[in-house]
Amino acid sequence: MPPTDRIRDHAGQGAATTVAAHRTRRRLRADQARQLADLLRHQILTGRFTDGTLPHETTLGTDYGASRNTVRQALDLLRAEGLVDRLPGVGTIVAARKYPHGLDRLMGLAETLHEHGRVTNEVRTLGPAPAPAPVAERLHVQPGADVLYIERLRRLNGLPLSLDLTYIPLDIGTALLDADLENTDVFRLLEAITGQRLGHAEITLEAVNADAHSSAVLQAPRGAAVLMLERLTHLADGRPVDLEFIRFRGDRITMSGLLHRSL
Amino acid sequence: MPPTDRIRDHAGQGAATTVAAHRTRRRLRADQARQLADLLRHQILTGRFTDGTLPHETTLGTDYGASRNTVRQALDLLRAEGLVDRLPGVGTIVAARKYPHGLDRLMGLAETLHEHGRVTNEVRTLGPAPAPAPVAERLHVQPGADVLYIERLRRLNGLPLSLDLTYIPLDIGTALLDADLENTDVFRLLEAITGQRLGHAEITLEAVNADAHSSAVLQAPRGAAVLMLERLTHLADGRPVDLEFIRFRGDRITMSGLLHRSL
């Protein structure tokens, strides 16, 4: 069976009845729009539309072998994500910028985004609090012993990027009470306080819908997709010193890295 | 200034007026609920509630030093995420399972989840299609040359996990037309076809809200948070062979890995 027949088989375009064929066409339009949207998303995120304007719909249709309706639907998907906007008389423009956070190296936010602007931190809560059992266990302190708890809203050039909840053992954390948390990554402060480099971190990433309060704090729509990062960071000598729960606005951050087949 | 005074400063509990104090308390309840929800989420994801039931609200309140209302609000947050459910007469149960996808090593889905069950793939589209410029560029083929396009809905034990859009150069891809794509990772097939191991992959992760059609295909609520993975995989000799756009259901997948401070 030649490849083209296979496509028909799988897509069901060979179906006998008109109704089935029509259903298939509709399903395929949405699928094609998603496919095109994913390709355009990559171009947007990597800054390929240098003047901030996407090509005309007709050009996109020709370039990507897509119908006018598919192109429109793809642009609708990207508009719903907040990535593009339509300006009357101008066309489709890139509306949002996503910033790349590295997955290859353990870095603080200001460190990783320094070329994109200035990171500032609004400290919402700061002070010692008794460590619940799961925090105590991971930070290797006695359950109920005080740890430093910090809650920060982090901004890049004034725009909310993430809401960070941080737990630090108090023997190290106390020195943070007098530090410039508004303008400095906790990572840098931990290295300054301990005189040690950080070593490694165990991370877990999830996509979650923001609850009402978190989205209000992040100034994002309710239910907005959030990239949730849980990170337990250790000093170079292996001691766990920093447990964090970070909600990144999904429309402002991407995480990039390199994976290898063999370890 | 002793640490406790600092907390008051930042939380605003030292505010003179009743209204301001009340506002602050309300804000803090939501913040405390989020904080507790994050700790419970970790316990749920790591399977700490071995019988699938969370402790009673009163016990949680004692264990985490939280008020009854804060505990309830935290459980509401986790219920909204679909992680727990409340059963009358039973209490709060773990309702969903999230499966860990490794960020440390380049692996196919069936490979990485083999201990959790069987991965099956519904092939929605399969066949050659002209490569748009951005695909051609990344796969090092001529623009407009045919590449193999595959669209798969991937399930673990029958539950939809991800929707994968895949592009493969046709000289390698043709052999996939006769392969058992329903039951085999493309990664394994690529290694079998080329007689080479895969080498590395560049990945980008984002959190996005699923559009109506994608959520329907994934059987997730409209707007559900999706972990979006873009991955360009290379053979051991460096040749790019597999460009993928993967939408993971946010409520079913976590990505875990290890980061190091020094490269």
List the single residue in A with minimal CA-CA distance to B213: A30
From the list A206, A250, A263, which residue is nearest B105 (CB)? A263
pLDDT(A26) > 80 = no
Cβ contacts from A onto B, under 8 A: 245
In the prediction, which pLDDT does B154 show?
A: 97
CB-CB under 8 Å, A103 with B38? no
Dihedral pair phi/psi, residue B71, rounded to 5°: -60, -45
Question: DSSP secondary structure string, B191-208?
Answer: HHHHSS-EEEEEEEEEEE
In the prediction, which pLDDT does B97 show?
A: 85
The ipTM assigned to this model is: 0.87
Q: Is-contact A131 A146, C-beta < 8 A?
A: yes
Residue type, A146: D
Q: Edge-to-edge strand order for the sheet containing A198-209?
A: A119-130, A146-156, A159-169, A240-249, A225-235, A198-209, B253-260, B99-102
In the prediction, which pLDDT does A96 show?
A: 83
- A71-129 per-position pLDDT tens digit: 999 999 999 999 999 999 889 999 988 998 988 889 999 989 999 999 999 999 999 99
Neighbour tally for B219: CB within 10 Å: 12
From the list B126, B211, B255, which residue is nearest A80 (CB)? B211
A114 touches chain B (CB under 8 A): no
- A114-138 per-position pLDDT tens digit: 999 999 999 999 999 999 999 999 9
Q: How confident is the model at residue A263 (pLDDT cuts 50, 70, 90)?
A: low
pLDDT(A18) > 70 = no
pLDDT(A142) > 70 = yes
In the prediction, which pLDDT does B103 show?
A: 86
Residue type, A167: Y
Residue A202 in tokens? 């165990």
Q: Is-contact A260 B199, C-beta < 8 A?
A: yes
Q: Is-contact B89 B127, C-beta < 8 A?
A: no
Q: Is-contact B213 A70, C-beta < 8 A?
A: no
Distance from B93 to chain A by nearest Cα, in Å? 19
Counting as low any pLDDT under 70, the low residues of chain B are 1-27, 263
- A209-256 per-position pLDDT tens digit: 999 999 999 999 999 999 999 999 999 999 999 999 999 999 999 999
- B233-258 per-position pLDDT tens digit: 999 999 999 999 999 999 999 999 98
pLDDT(A24) > 60 = no
Specify the DSSP class assigned to residue A126: E
Q: Is-contact B215 B224, C-beta < 8 A?
A: yes
Mean per-residue pLDDT of chain A: 88
In the prediction, which pLDDT does A175 show?
A: 95
pLDDT(A9) > 90 = no
Helix (H, G, I), strand (E, B) or coil at B187: helix
Q: How confident is the model at residue A29 (pLDDT cuts 50, 70, 90)?
A: confident
Which secondary structure element, helix H or strand E, spans residue B159, and what is its range?
strand B159-169
Q: Is-contact A69 A81, C-beta < 8 A?
A: no
How far apart are the C-alpha atoms of B242 and B148, rounded to whole Å?
A: 10
Q: What is the pTM of this model?
A: 0.88
* CA neighbor of B31 nearest in space, from A63, A216, A68, A134: A216
In the prediction, which pLDDT does B1 show?
A: 37
pLDDT(A62) > 90 = yes
Specify the DSSP class assigned to residue B9: H
Neighbour tally for B116: CB within 10 Å: 12
How far apart are the C-alpha atoms of B128 and B148, rounded to whole Å?
A: 4
Distance from A200 to chain B by nearest Cα, in Å? 4
Report residue A14 CA to chain centroid gap.
41
Question: What is the average pLDDT across A163-188?
Answer: 96
In the prediction, which pLDDT does A102 show?
A: 85
pLDDT(A25) > 60 = no
CB-CB under 8 Å, A259 with B204? no
